[in-house]
Amino acid sequence: MNDASIRDLSPGPGGRTARDRTSLAAATRACDQWRMKDAHPETPVPDLLLVGGGLANGLLAFRLSQQRPDLDVRILEAANRLGGTHTWSFFDTDLTPAQLAWMEPFIAHRWPGYRVRFPGGQRHLSTPYSSVTADRFDAVVKAALPGRIVLDAAVAEVTPHAVVLEDRRRLIAKAVIDGRGPAAAPDLALGFQKFVGLEVRLAAPHGLAEPIIMDATVPQNGAYRFLYTLPLDDRTLLIEDTRYSAGAELDQDDLSNEVLAYAAAKGWAVGSVLRRESGVLPITLGGDPDRYWSELDGDAARSGLRALLFHPVTGYSLPEAVGLASAIASCSALDTATVAALARHRSDALWRRNAYLRLLNRMMFNAAEPAERYKVLQRFYTLPQPLVERFYAGRLTWGDRLRILSGKPPVPVHKALRAFRLKGDRPHG
């Protein structure tokens, strides 16, 4: 069920690896065409330098190539490809029709609906569901920015108008956007969605026509646990073991074995494992976003998870990344101050709008016993499909909010009441 996958909540890509050091010289040579401090002053300065080639910055670069082809937009990425090994999935109703239209080149798979399974029953929903693979993402963004992407480029420092590489070379741009993933967040109360997914090739057809977004009929193992399955073709599945838990620790081998055991239990004979992906996504319960922003280093503009632009219940960031890309591409001025103010405004507005969703998170994490957390989602999936769609899209009405909390709560009442009163959850930015 992953969207923007991360291994931890520390800044990236600051950590140095042997590969980073080995490839740094090549990366910086590739950057020589850009303007550097005290070198080649006649060389044009890029309009926009995007630090990090993940979801948010990749979508932004692509949208700018469509809307503002006159701009010189560059990407610096610490890894050897854009997008890592991730799969980003979303409901088509998460996006506006215009957003869905320009996202079409990224969509590798689409299904007309999906299923959920709980101990109390299962349900089919007819909401279209789409997935963006890392391979497709990498190819589309590279095609949109030929010759303007530098890979294996480890970054030491980011400022509003410059990026310092690990060898201390300084790349200058008219504006810089930092999209390297989430920063450390001691001022936020967090739970975590952790997952390991295996893309497997089966010995025989699996028979699935649509994804199983949640199969919570499995043992809960001390967390809200479910298996997530995408049928990529008639013999290929992406199966993820997903857990909502208080800690960020992730045993990839253990969860990989659980995925294979689940496949065996379903009668799917795995012929080969094609790849593995994993992540730990932040789930916000409360906190002080103003302090979070004040403690970030520097004044560069920020995007994606680094700007707290994600759904607080799912950790999904694709709809917010699409929205930010659309908004920035519509700006008449793309200086750092304007872009930074725009991203911060969207982040603050999202935080205010999501106070109710953070409450639901507190009910699941703080009011429900780990083995009983599935009951919160089981009850939620009895609600009307349009409400479910608005929930994932972050567009709940006041009537929706009352409907979700009406009736007997799936958690002890006294604990549910305590969840309403978390000290330190700032209602606004």
DSSP state of 295: T
Domain 18-90+98-107+134-186+288-352 in CATH 3.50.50.60? The answer is yes
pLDDT in tens, 50-74: 999 999 999 999 999 999 999 999 9
With tokens 């001691």, the residue in question is: 186
Taken in order 198, 361, 12, 300, the sign of the CA dihedral is positive
Structure tokens belonging to residue 122:
């299962």
pLDDT at residue 344 tops 70: yes
CB 79 within 8 A of CB 96: no
Q: How far apart are CA 383 and CA 379, in angstroms?
A: 8
Closest by CA position to 51, among listed 339, 348, 316, 349: 339
Beta-sheet pairing, 176-178 with 48-51: parallel
Q: What pLDDT shows up at residue 410?
A: 56
With tokens 């939620």, the residue in question is: 380
Q: What pLDDT shows up at residue 426?
A: 61
Q: What pLDDT shows up at residue 5?
A: 33
Taken in order 312, 316, 320, 321, the sign of the CA dihedral is positive
Closest by CA position to 337, among listed 172, 180, 174, 155: 174
Q: How far apart are CA 162 and CA 154, in angstroms?
A: 14
With tokens 């009011």, the residue in question is: 367
Beta-sheet pairing, 129-133 with 236-245: unpaired
Residues sharing a CB contact under 8 Å with residue 402, sequence separation 6 or more, in sequence order: none
What 3-state DSSP class applies to 23?
helix
Closest by CA position to 275, among listed 216, 232, 305, 226: 232
Confidence of residue 309 (pLDDT cuts 50, 70, 90): very high
The mean pLDDT value for 85-105 works out to 97
Q: Transcribe 353-404 into DSSP letters.
A: HTHHHHHHHHIIIIIS-GGGTHHHHHHHTTS-HHHHHHHHHT---HHHHHHH
Q: Where are the domains of the chain?
A: 18-90+98-107+134-186+288-352, 189-286, 355-419
Confidence of residue 322 (pLDDT cuts 50, 70, 90): very high
Q: How far apart are CA 42 and CA 202, in angstroms?
A: 57
- pTM of the full predicted structure? 0.86
Amino acid 64 reads L
Q: What pLDDT shows up at residue 9?
A: 31
Taken in order 46, 50, 52, 53, the sign of the CA dihedral is negative
Q: How far apart are CA 415 and CA 370, in angstroms?
A: 13
Taken in order 41, 32, 47, 349, the sign of the CA dihedral is negative
Element at 426 (helix H, strand E): none
Q: How far apart are CA 66 and CA 52, in angstroms?
A: 20
With tokens 């094609």, the residue in question is: 274
Q: Which has more pLDDT, 66 or 429?
A: 66
pLDDT at residue 409 tops 70: no
Q: What pLDDT shows up at residue 169?
A: 86
Q: What pLDDT shows up at residue 70?
A: 93
Residue 21 phi, psi dihedral angles, 5° rounding = -65, -40
Confidence of residue 181 (pLDDT cuts 50, 70, 90): confident
What 3-state DSSP class applies to 1?
coil
Alpha helix stretches (DSSP H) within 266-354: 289-294, 318-329, 336-353
Name the CA radius of gyration of the chain, rounded. 22
CATH class name, domain 189-286: alpha beta
pLDDT in tens, 123-154: 999 999 999 999 999 999 999 999 999 999 99
pLDDT in tens, 192-215: 999 999 999 999 999 999 999 999
